[in-house]
Homo-oligomer: A and B are copies of this chain.
């Protein structure tokens, strides 16, 4: 288990994910090739095939790290407002939007549909489901506390997810640079929209 070898990398899988994420952040998904990622990681152009079945499998690996990051952020948002599901929901929504603004190309990889036509990836599905369940849990607690209206929990969660996801998409693609150019303006807008959502979910 040496450390200074040149032939065997030691941790190439992670290195590729890292290099790939960095390149995507810089140049966008469309302009990142498998070969460029391999080169950035310091290996030959086919070395990635020892760790991923094909290019899309590597992209899915990067998307998974994005979903893990998202899950963490949502968790932090919840912890910031213990016992207050309304605030938790707003904070989670803002956190989601924040991530999309900070890492627009990663967000695009996660939700832009590049991977949509692929055969299902277990790790990807699990991490993305986990992120969604974090949201559904907030809703469920809010319903029990009587601040959110009754009804199918997952459906309310889906509503919230839709708002946040739609806004994040608009924010990350620059579609609303006319209305809100700066990062702060976008987040303020996100907060107000999250409040609109809250009204729709509240008990009347």
Q: 18 A–B contact pairs at CB < 8 A?
A: A28-B116, A108-B112, A108-B113, A108-B116, A112-B113, A116-B173, A155-B189, A156-B196, A159-B193, A161-B170, A162-B162, A162-B166, A162-B167, A163-B163, A164-B166, A165-B169, A199-B204, A200-B201
A158 touches B176 (CB 8 A): yes
Q: List B contacts of A158 (CB < 8 A).
A: 167, 170, 176, 179, 189, 193
Q: List B contacts of A154 (CB < 8 A).
A: 179
B116 touches A174 (CB 8 A): yes
Q: Is the interface of A mostly helix, strand, loop or mixed?
A: helix
CA distance in complex: A162, B176 (Å): 11
* Contacts of A149-204 to chain B: CB distance below 8 A: 154-156, 158-159, 161-167, 169-170, 172-174, 176, 179, 189, 192-193, 196-201, 204
